[in-house]
Structure 1
């Protein structure tokens, strides 16, 4: 029987999809790879380092640990974790993100990683059951309608712990004016991760530890314009006039030539059942 929180998750997912002209494609993440890479490097991967430090200080990780990350982006966790543990496997389908992982790793002097160029849903978890000490995913779980199944797949590959770093949405909607100017009266899509994911875990007999963290990125105006253009193109037909509205929005918010963004996340982790749960492939 589907739990109430899972039902809510699925309804929000379906509502978001119905609002879009098309769903996200892997090429969209390649288009945003430079933006993501810049956002994580501006403070020397502080976000990833903070998550590592929380897990390490709570006995989840040691210098001999092996980790697999679902949706690695440009190396948000790959770089800071690989500098402190034995090995990191990055599951990342977008070629642009893969290229940034490699470039950022080379810059950081990191070699103890490998990349699985695939979406997580297509990874053969049976062949790697219990191969890792930690399975982790950061701010991509909103992309999984079948969220419980994908969490169980994470549990399958970990003989130690699982961790989700889930974003906490800003309910202030400081960009409402831009949204209405570009999209009109169409409802703003929801990308809920925390606290709804906590309820889903709890209703499935998973009782995670939780820590709340904040981070900041400072991005170039060019990369912010790309980010907004990719995002809004999913919900409206872009025109030259709309592109100008995005440009003006970004330029109005620059501080010392950069675009600051405050982010809040919840870090949730729990002991994996060591592959005992059927991943339900």
Structure 2
């Protein structure tokens, strides 16, 4: 199929902009784990995967195990693909705390994995916010090749995964800046161009981010909002006003957004 709009090329361009500064996932592992702790997203998502106790599951970009750990309670075996040692350490610790041993940890990037050599084909392939490769079509083809039964992808819907609060944008003088990121529609369009007619569900989300202290909250949003040193005091003042505190004194912030689930069974494709 020859698409009028090349969503794969648009993805590549936006990927280059997002990754210009690089990502240190080992450094971010602790704050990431803390922020998603207590998040009930996995409890809402995993039943929709229809896993059986005989299924094998590949979690591509498993991170700290937010989904891999509970999936291991439903499936026969989970392969967690996670290149970051910092992220993987939290995953292993959580598996141990839950008394789970039916998993394999593979410390490789998805781009470097060879299906059938580094990992076998799995019944179900799952990827949550982990499509961090520049060539979306190639990455999706590999996900499809790794699945025997179905592929499930979670991604954000809307202009940004972590949109900046309108009030903060105003304080920073960024009212005219347009938020734009490659949301789920890019994935659905590239799959369509590949002849894979995926199912799509979009749901509102409400998450609570938990931080150790104000400094940790500032660091979290400083990185995700591309905050300059000159803007950091403004961010700090804003967060000091907006963060709520739990009973144990930890600051928290509620965030509302939209989540898309994209999935297909292996027969949902053009011949």
Name the TM-score class by shorter chain: 0.7 to 0.9
Q: Does the CA contact (< 8 Å) of 1:130 and 1:158 recur in 2?
A: no
Query: Following TM superposition, by how much is the alpha carbon of 1:180 offset from its aligned partner in structure 2, in angstroms?
Result: 6.8
Question: Structure 1 114/126 Cα, relative in aligned 2: closer, same or farther at 3 Å?
Answer: closer
Q: How much is the aligned-residue C-alpha RMSD, in angstroms?
A: 3.1
Q: Name the structure 2 match of 1:8.
A: 7
Q: How does 1:43-82 map onto structure 2 within 5 Å?
A: 43=39, 46-56=40-50, 61-82=51-72
- SS of equivalent residue, structure 1 residue 258: strand
Q: Does the CA contact (< 8 Å) of 1:12 and 1:190 recur in 2?
A: no
Q: Does the CA contact (< 8 Å) of 1:139 and 1:193 recur in 2?
A: no
Question: Structure 1 15/271 Cα, relative in aligned 2: closer, same or farther at 3 Å?
Answer: closer
> Which is bigger in relative contact order (C-alpha 8 A, separation at least 6)?
1
Q: In structure 1, list runs of 5 or more residues that go unmatched.
A: none
Query: Following TM superposition, by how much is the alpha carbon of 1:128 offset from its aligned partner in structure 2, in angstroms?
Result: 5.7
Question: Structure 1 173/167 Cα, relative in aligned 2: closer, same or farther at 3 Å?
Answer: closer
Q: Deviation per CA, 1:201-221, whole angstroms, max 9, x where unpaired?
A: 122211122233344332234
How many correspondences in the alignment?
A: 260
TM-score (norm 1): 0.79
Q: Does the CA contact (< 8 Å) of 2:126 and 2:152 recur in 1?
A: yes
Q: Does the CA contact (< 8 Å) of 1:68 and 1:132 recur in 2?
A: yes
Q: Name the structure 1 match of 2:254.
A: 260
Moved more, 111-120 or 250-259: 250-259
Q: Name the structure 1 match of 2:22.
A: 24
Q: Name the structure 1 match of 2:190.
A: 200
Q: Does the CA contact (< 8 Å) of 2:11 and 2:135 recur in 1?
A: no
Greater fraction helix = 1
Q: In structure 2, list runs of 5 or more residues that go unmatched.
A: 246-250
Q: Name the structure 1 match of 2:221.
A: 228
Q: Deviation per CA, 1:171-226, whole angstroms, max 9, x where unpaired?
A: 79552554576696995563322123212212221112223334433223444323
Moved more, 129-138 or 86-95: 129-138
Question: Structure 1 109/263 Cα, relative in aligned 2: closer, same or farther at 3 Å?
Answer: farther
Question: Structure 1 216/209 Cα, relative in aligned 2: closer, same or farther at 3 Å?
Answer: same
